[in-house]
Amino acid sequence: MNRNPDKHKMSINPTVLVLPFPAQGHVNPLMTLSEKLVQHGCKVIFVNSDINHKRVVSSMVEQQHSIDESKIKLVSIPDGLGPDDDRHDWGKLCDAIRSTMPSALQKLIEDIHLNGDIRISFIIADFGMAWAFEVGTKFGIKGAMFFPMSATMFALFYNTPKLIDEGIINSDGLILTNKKTIRLSPNMSEMDIGTFFWLHLGDPLNTKGVFVFLGHCLRTLNLAEWWLCNTISELEPGVLNIVPKLLPIGPLLRSNDNTNATTRSMGQFWEEDLSCMNWLDQQPHGSVTYVAFGSITLFNQNQFDELALGLDLTNRPFLWIVRHDNKLTYPSEFQGHEGKLAEWAPQQKVLNHPAIACFVTHCGWNSTMEGLSNGVPLLCWPYIADQIYNKIHICDELKLGVGLNSDENGLVSRWEIKKKLDQLLSDENMRARSIKLKEKLMDNQIDSGQSLKNLNKLVKWLKE
């Protein structure tokens, strides 16, 4: 192992190793960032977990999607879980990652350096993979942390030691205070304590494991030269002031093929159904409700029935994404005449299509950024983790969406779905605000925009 970085000076075309946390919502933005680095002359080695690597490669084969491995090379390491383990048991996954992946990454880098002319110049790791910077230091490789959620979520994680000191939470992340809200800084809005990320991971047993894992990630951040985030300052005013090292580079959108209906996105776990685009071409402008809940959300049969019948009630065209791992059946009364069903969609292209009127979403940060970047109002139905906070930010602060209310049985009824969709689609002021924010988001990606300046600054530093 060579521990002297000076012996291998960075080339004009640096090779960057990119390491996402093993989930679709983390792979997507880092793949988009990788494609942007390639456009700037870098080469990328993209490291998925073994199981996710197989999904991505299989999806690309099914789609006849070819990849130029001289620019982006897809490789993998084990995540420490068995083939039948539940990877949505977040505490178990985080434990397995910490115990298995650092040594596997070290061996991968050693093999890459031994087997060819490639030298890894830099590591870009997801916040949840920040242990990679400890591995990088063994090789003299510097790094950047990428945070895939909102800057507000980062500010929350960053301030967890302070929250423990102040008696707001204990060292396991559990709430100790009777307060309902906190303010992380005078420049930020108050945050509902009940929306803390780690409290919404399904099984309460996950809270401690994930919180401890986050603490370890925080302690390794000082090893990263750069901290990057998929946001813009206008979207989260005040937040970036309290963590000045965190640089916004959002919105991370695939720039060249966003409107090209025949090209597919890299890094998808499932094959994208491009017939969605042909169907949208046949719909009137601003008429379609797009319904998609990301890669994790699962409904029970009762809730699935209410969603299906609620879409029928609207009498409007809809595009509803129902993943292949959904084991539920459509209710017998479901007509679906106005709609199209698909298992997985090219979401950025869909949201960019003029036929889309609104987006029924789980409020994952990628989906939120993609919706807002296309000026599409949001009907918010959060499921897990940061999505709970994102819904409040969208509805109460940005005023670019509405939320759904559950009945006494915890069910969102078909009538509630119809009522809120009618409300959303008739609100011209919300549509105007959506267009205004879209312009601010896109302005950040032009030459004088802050996000593009930050990305160019990173690339220039890499090439030096």
Residue 300 burial class via C-beta count within 10 angstroms: exposed 0-12, middle 13-18, buried 19 and up = exposed
* Same-domain pairing of 423 and 397: yes
The answer on pLDDT for 11 being more than 60 is no
What gap in Å lies between CA 98 and CA 110, rounded to an integer? 19
* Same-domain pairing of 228 and 172: yes
* Same-domain pairing of 117 and 173: yes
Please check whether residue 279 lies inside any domain of the structure: yes
Predicted confidence band of residue 62 (pLDDT cuts 50, 70, 90): low
Q: Identify the CA nearest to 224 among candidates 27, 11, 453, 458.
A: 458
Residue span of the structural domain in which 428 resides: 275-442
The answer on pLDDT for 456 being more than 80 is yes
Residues 6+ positions from 68 with CB-CB distance below 8 Å = none
Identify whether the C-beta of residue 322 lies closer than 8 Å to the C-beta of residue 294.
Answer: no
Please check whether residue 342 lies inside any domain of the structure: yes
Q: Supply the pLDDT for residue 64.
A: 58
* Same-domain pairing of 70 and 110: yes
Predicted confidence band of residue 260 (pLDDT cuts 50, 70, 90): low
Read out DSSP for 152-183?
A: HHHHHHHTHHHHHHTTSB-TTS-B----SEE-
Q: Supply the pLDDT for residue 165.
A: 96
pLDDT more than 90, % of the chain: 81
Predicted confidence band of residue 258 (pLDDT cuts 50, 70, 90): very low
Please check whether residue 318 lies inside any domain of the structure: yes
Average pLDDT over residues 292-300: 93
What are the φ/ψ torsions at residue 245 (nearest 5 degrees)?
A: -75, -20
Predicted confidence band of residue 8 (pLDDT cuts 50, 70, 90): very low
* Same-domain pairing of 343 and 372: yes
CA-to-CA dists, residue 34 to 126, 154, 458, angstroms: 12, 21, 13
* Same-domain pairing of 207 and 313: no
Task: Convert the pLDDT of each residue in 387-400 to its tens digit.
Answer: 999 999 999 999 99
Residue whose tokens read 């803390």: 196
| More confident of the two residues 69 and 215 | 215
Predicted confidence band of residue 333 (pLDDT cuts 50, 70, 90): very high
What gap in Å lies between CA 231 and CA 250, rounded to an integer? 4
User: Considering the chain, what is the average pLDDT of its residues?
Assistant: 92
User: Any idea what the CATH number is for the domain that residue 453 is in?
Assistant: 3.40.50.2000
* Same-domain pairing of 457 and 434: no
pTM of this structure: 0.94
* Same-domain pairing of 292 and 235: no
The answer on pLDDT for 63 being more than 70 is no
Please check whether residue 119 lies inside any domain of the structure: yes
What are the φ/ψ torsions at residue 351 (nearest 5 degrees)?
A: -65, -25
Whether cis (ω within 30° of 0) applies to the bond prior to 251 is yes
Identify whether the C-beta of residue 100 lies closer than 8 Å to the C-beta of residue 22.
Answer: no
CB neighbours of residue 15 within 10 Å: 19
Q: Identify the CA nearest to 224 among candidates 128, 104, 149, 141.
A: 141
Number of structural domains (the chain) is: 2
Please check whether residue 266 lies inside any domain of the structure: no
* Same-domain pairing of 142 and 84: yes
SS3 of residue 389 by DSSP: helix
Q: Supply the pLDDT for residue 66.
A: 58
CA-to-CA dists, residue 132 to 6, 153, 292, angstroms: 20, 21, 32
Task: Convert the pLDDT of each residue in 96-150 to its tens digit.
Answer: 999 999 999 999 999 999 987 789 999 999 999 999 999 999 999 999 999 999 9
What gap in Å lies between CA 113 and CA 32, rounded to an integer? 25
| More confident of the two residues 3 and 312 | 312
The answer on pLDDT for 89 being more than 50 is yes
Predicted confidence band of residue 5 (pLDDT cuts 50, 70, 90): very low
* Same-domain pairing of 281 and 230: no
Please check whether residue 255 lies inside any domain of the structure: no
Please check whether residue 262 lies inside any domain of the structure: no
Average pLDDT over residues 408-431: 96
| More confident of the two residues 69 and 457 | 457
Residues 6+ positions from 432 with CB-CB distance below 8 Å = none
Average pLDDT over residues 318-343: 93
* Same-domain pairing of 357 and 457: no
What gap in Å lies between CA 260 and CA 432, rounded to an integer? 26
Q: Which two tokens stand for residue 398?
A: 């940005």
Q: Supply the pLDDT for residue 59.
A: 85
Give the H or E element holding residue 193.
Answer: none
Identify whether the C-beta of residue 456 lies closer than 8 Å to the C-beta of residue 250.
Answer: no
The answer on pLDDT for 177 being more than 90 is yes
* Same-domain pairing of 341 and 316: yes
What gap in Å lies between CA 339 and CA 399, rounded to an integer? 28
Identify whether the C-beta of residue 56 lies closer than 8 Å to the C-beta of residue 269.
Answer: yes
Identify whether the C-beta of residue 91 lies closer than 8 Å to the C-beta of residue 119.
Answer: no
Please check whether residue 399 lies inside any domain of the structure: yes
CB neighbours of residue 111 within 10 Å: 11
Residue type at 440 in one-letter notation: K
Predicted confidence band of residue 7 (pLDDT cuts 50, 70, 90): very low
Q: Supply the pLDDT for residue 261.
A: 55
